[in-house]
Structure 1
Amino acid sequence: MGIGKGTGMLFDRYIGIDYSGRGEPDERTSGIQVVELDQEGNVRRIAPGGGPARTFSWSRREVYEYLSALLAAASNQRLAIGIDHNLSFPISYFTQRGLKDWEAFLGHFQALWNTKEQSVKVCREKAPSYPNSTELRLTEAYTSSAKSAWNFEQLTGAVSYSTHAGIPWIYELRAASRDRLHVWPYDGWSPQAGKSVLAEVYPAILYQRFKRLGDFPQDWPRDAQDAFVIAAWLRERDLNGTLVRYFQVDTLTEQEKQMALQYEGWILGVC
């Protein structure tokens, strides 16, 4: 942060999204915050609609519409988008339901959980329960604090709610922007040339890294700070040339990489 634009950077803009499964799909909540940095490190806390900042709280539908419009308009710019919810489930879910890959999972999930139109609470009443509310994906097991997406015992700010609310919107965004968007790592470990990238990022493992810096937004609420650290980390890694290595995750075995690529996905930044 603050050391200037680098040469050879992969992306033009860095967008951090702190997500929430609270409330209805069209209901604005302070738990959803969007922050953007450019190559020079200029920071913008984004308000929905792009107009005057009457509120910085977003609805899930507004986040989808914002990203969809941004991807459609940014034909000459590459965006690095980090979002704070799981993009997939443990591999056991795939094997038990005969899902061959993540693409099949997306179609299956959005049909089962209609959280584009209804709250997670309402959809939970119709969907089958999970056998193990503590089961983790491999990438979550490699962190010290990640929780299972199947653990609904926490409050509505938990990753279970945000994941179940968010995945159907990822399905829609992918369908609308397939020619412009690389969803990492499912579309490949190396982002395709000319495409923007969307990846799962876990701000809790980045927060302390940026909290100590002089330009950290101390007066922002925690959800906005989490969106900030996602965007700041993406830019910092791109600036110093290491983001491409995080994309490759060469600390994993070939078997682990294949499992993540086909089924579980990975949290960008977890080694």
Structure 2
Amino acid sequence: MSQFERYLGIDYSGAQTPSSSLKGLRFYAATRTEPPIEIPPPPSPRKYWTRRGLAQYLAERLAEDRPTLVGIDHAFSFPLAYFEAHQLPLNWPTFLEDFQRHWPTDQDIYVDFVRYGDVGQGALRTGNPRWRRLTEVRAGTAKSVFHFDVQGQVAKSTHAGLPWLLSLRRQLGDRLHCWPFDGWEIPAGHSAVAEVYPALWKHDFPTEGRTPDQHDAYAVAAWLRQADLDDRLAGFLAPSLTPPDRTKAEIEGWILGVG
């Protein structure tokens, strides 16, 4: 029996500012009975979603009494080497708070403003592009969260998105299960958010005229729905990991769908 009623796929973008209308920020939604459709932003002068607007919309939807699974394609945490280099507690909520203090990318600024020292204290919380999380290694082609300015990067979207993840957590509290940090098993009746990597699934679905960004978001929503309806999702929520690797993943995070 399926666990969720609604499946949201987000192809994220770290471009420009949180209030910028971003063509690359795409959002698809599916239900148990309906395949994914693109969700446009509320009527406004902006044609596309903004990061701020999407975060507000998600907070409203996830506060509803409808178990929802959200897949977002940016990293939710950093490699263990980052925690060690900056002598941070091995605690994910503390990491989010600390990151937002140093990289306040939920303000109306570009990520690069923090990268280059104009805003915030990003220089005190940097990482090496050679550092990769265990889940990125297992995924094969996933880029490091510190590898900026390359094709297929997740660095900018991750540095832009983490403060909004913190915002959702603050607003929703225990109503939102952040997988796997709040536990590998998602309690029945709860909504959850998980890191995804569209490259794992996008070739399983015909593009049907969608742009690459649209298709990535579509594929996430479609795969989440299909996996839940086929009773395969529970297996992906419990990847095969040794006890040391599982402990590491509870700090670094895990990409849903990576074995």
> TM class by shorter-chain length?
over 0.9
- What do residues 22-76 of structure 1 show as CA deviations (whole Å, max 9, x unaligned)? 0011001111000001101333200011x59984x2111011001011112x21x
Q: Confirm or deny: 8 A CA contact 2:77 2:252 kept in the other structure.
A: yes
The percent of aligned pairs where both chains have the same amino acid is 40
Unpaired segments ≥5 residues, structure 1: 1-7, 212-216
Q: Retained in 1: the 8 A contact 2:7–2:29?
A: yes
Q: What is the rounded CA distance, in whole Å, between the counterparts of 1:192 and 1:266 in structure 2? A: 18
Report the Cα offset of residue 81 of structure 1: 0.2
The aligned counterpart of 1:16 is 9
Native 8 Å contact 1:13 1:78 kept in 2? yes
The runs of at least 4 aligned residues of structure 1 exceeding 4 Å deviation read 51-54
Aligned-partner SS, 1:178: helix
Q: Equivalent residue for 1:198?
A: 193
Instruction: Tell me the equivalent position of 1:90.
Output: 79
Say if 1:19 and 1:162, in contact at 8 Å, map to a contact too.
Answer: yes
C-alpha separation in 1, matches of 2:31 and 2:81: 39
Equivalent residue runs for 1:41-190 within 5 Å: 41-49=34-42, 51=43, 55=47, 57-72=48-63, 74-75=64-65, 77-100=66-89, 101-117=91-107, 118-126=109-117, 127-128=122-123, 130=126, 132-154=128-150, 158-190=153-185
1:207-248 deviation per Cα after TM superposition (whole angstroms, max 9, x unaligned)? 11223xxxxx42111101000000111011101101011111
Sort the Cα spacing of 1:54 and 1:115 in 2 relative to 1 into closer, same or farther, 3 A: closer
* Superposition RMSD in Å: 1.7
Shift, 1:130, TM fit: 3.7
* Contact 1:134-1:147 at 8 Å conserved across structures: no
Q: Once the 2 structures are TM-superposed, how far is the Cα of residue 123 of structure 1 from its aligned partner? A: 1.1
Distance of 1:245 and 1:226 partners within structure 2: 22
Q: Which runs of 5+ in 2 are unaligned?
A: none
1:83 corresponds to which letter in structure 2?
I
Scaled by the length of structure 2, the TM-score of the pair is 0.93
Tell me the distance in 2 between the aligned counterparts of 1:16 and 1:145.
20
What residue in structure 1 maps to residue 235 of structure 2? 245
Hey, what's the Cα distance between the residues in 2 that align with 1:260 and 1:166?
A: 19
